[in-house]
Amino acid sequence: MRHILSNRRAVALFLAPALVVYLGVIVVPAVWSLVYSFFKGTPALGFQYVGFTNFKHLWTDPTLRQTLVFTIKYAAVLLVCQIVFGYLLALFYLFVLRRTSTLIRTLVFFPVVLPPVAVALLFNKLFAIAPQVGPVNSVLHLFGISPVDWFATGTGAFVVIVVMDLWRSAGFYAVLLYAGLVDISNDILESARMDGAGGLRLVRHIVLPLSRPIVIASIIFAINANLKVFDTILALNNGGPGTATTPLNLYMFQTSFLYSDYGYGSTIAMLITVLGLVGTVLVFRASRRNIERAA
C-alpha cells in the first residue's frame, strides 16, 4: 500500500475517474452557472451580456427578499429540530433500547427512502380541509377545535412543511448521530458512572463533548440540505399561499424555466451556494472556538 501511495502515477490513475466525474458533475456546471449570471436570455432566443445587472437586481427584488427570509427561517428552525430530535433518538437507541434498537431504527429511518413527492402528497392529504377533511383536522374536531385551513396562511403552511420534513429526515440524523455515539468507548462511560456521573450529567459532560465531531458534521449536512429544499414544497403547496412558503431553490426554478430568465435564475443559484458556504464556515469557526476554549 505504501509503495502504491508513493507512486504519483498510480495515485493519479486511481483518482482520475473520480476527478473527471467530480469536474463534470460539480465544477463545470457551477462555473457555467456563474457565467450565465452575467447574461440575460435563453438558449433558444440567445443571450445578451448584462454585466452585474442580475446581481444588482437581487437587492431590489421583493420576491427574492421574501423567499430569502423564508429559506433562512425554514433552514434554522428545521436544523434545530433535526439535530435535537435526532440526538434524542440516538441517545434512546444507545442507552434505552441498546442492542434491540435495530427494528426501531429501521422503522424510523424508513421515511428517508420514500420519494419526497410521495411524502408531500401524503401530508397534503393529512392536513387537508377540502374537498375532504384530513385526519389532522378530524382529530382536532374530536377535541372541539374547529378545522384549520393549514395551507391558507403562510404560518400554517410553514408548520406543515417543518413537520413533514422533520418526519422525513429525522431518521437519517438519528442514525448518523447514533453511529458517532457508538464509537464512544464503554470504558469511558463506565469510568464516568463509577465517578458518579449518570443521567443528564453523563450526557452533558461526557457523551456530548465526545460526540461533537459527528454533531458538527450533522449540522453541516442539515444546513446545506435545508437551504436547497425544493421537491417537497413544490409537491405540497407549490410555495403558497402566493410566495409565503417559496424557498430560494423553487424561486430559482420558476425564474429559469417558467419565466425563461436563465441569467437571473443562475444568480439566485449563486446566492444559494454562498449561503451554504457561509453557513459551513460559521459552523467550523464556532466549533474551533469551542475547542480552543476547552483546551
Surface-to-core class of residue 20, CB atoms within 10 Å of its CB (0-12 exposed, 13-18 middle, 19+ buried): exposed
* Burial track 159-197 (b if 16+ CB lie within 10 A, e otherwise): ebbbbbbbebbbbbbbbbbbebbeeeeeeebeebeeeeb
Model confidence over 150-206: pLDDT tens digits?
999 999 999 999 999 999 999 999 999 999 888 888 888 778 777 776 777 888 888
Cell numbers at residue 125, please? Answer: 392529504
pLDDT band at 294 (very low <50, low <70, confident <90, very high): low
Q: Of 120, 196, 116, 119, which is closest to residue 151 (Cα–Cα)?
A: 120
Which of 68-72, 141-145, 183-187 has the least mean pLDDT? 183-187
Q: CB of 144 within 8 A of CB of 137?
A: no
- pLDDT given at position 114: 94
Model confidence over 255-268: pLDDT tens digits?
998 888 999 999 99
Q: Is the pLDDT of residue 62 over 70?
A: yes
- pLDDT given at position 5: 58
Angle between helices 62-91 and 212-227 (to 10 degrees): 150
Q: CB of 217 within 8 A of CB of 176?
A: yes
Q: Is the pLDDT of residue 1 over 60?
A: no
- pLDDT given at position 121: 94
Angle at 34 between CA 21 and CA 38, to 5 degrees: 150
Q: What are phi and psi for residue 109, nearest 5 degrees?
A: -75, -20
Q: CB of 50 within 8 A of CB of 263?
A: yes
Mean pLDDT rounded to a whole number for the chain? 89
- State what percent of residues in the chain have pLDDT above 70: 95
CA 281, 283, 288, 289 dihedral sign is positive
Task: Specify the pTM.
Answer: 0.90
Residue 98 — left, alpha, or beta (φ > 0 → left; ψ -120 to 50 → alpha)?
left
The CATH number of 56-294 is which of 3.30.2130.10, 2.40.50.140, 1.10.3720.10, 3.40.50.2000? 1.10.3720.10
Q: Is the pLDDT of residue 289 over 80?
A: no
Q: Of 159, 171, 177, 154, which is closest to residue 78 (Cα–Cα)?
A: 159
- pLDDT given at position 22: 87
Residues, the chain, total?
Answer: 295
Q: Of 278, 276, 241, 239, which is closest to residue 255 (Cα–Cα)?
A: 239
- pLDDT given at position 202: 81
**Close Cβ partners of 255 (under 8 Å, ≥ 6 residues apart):** 261, 264, 265, 268
Model confidence over 199-236: pLDDT tens digits?
778 888 888 888 898 999 999 999 999 999 999 999 99
Model confidence over 85-102: pLDDT tens digits?
999 999 999 888 877 778
Select, from the ranges 4-8, 119-123, 209-213, 285-289, the one with the highest average predicted confidence (pLDDT). Answer: 119-123
Q: Is the pLDDT of residue 12 over 80?
A: no
- pLDDT given at position 4: 56
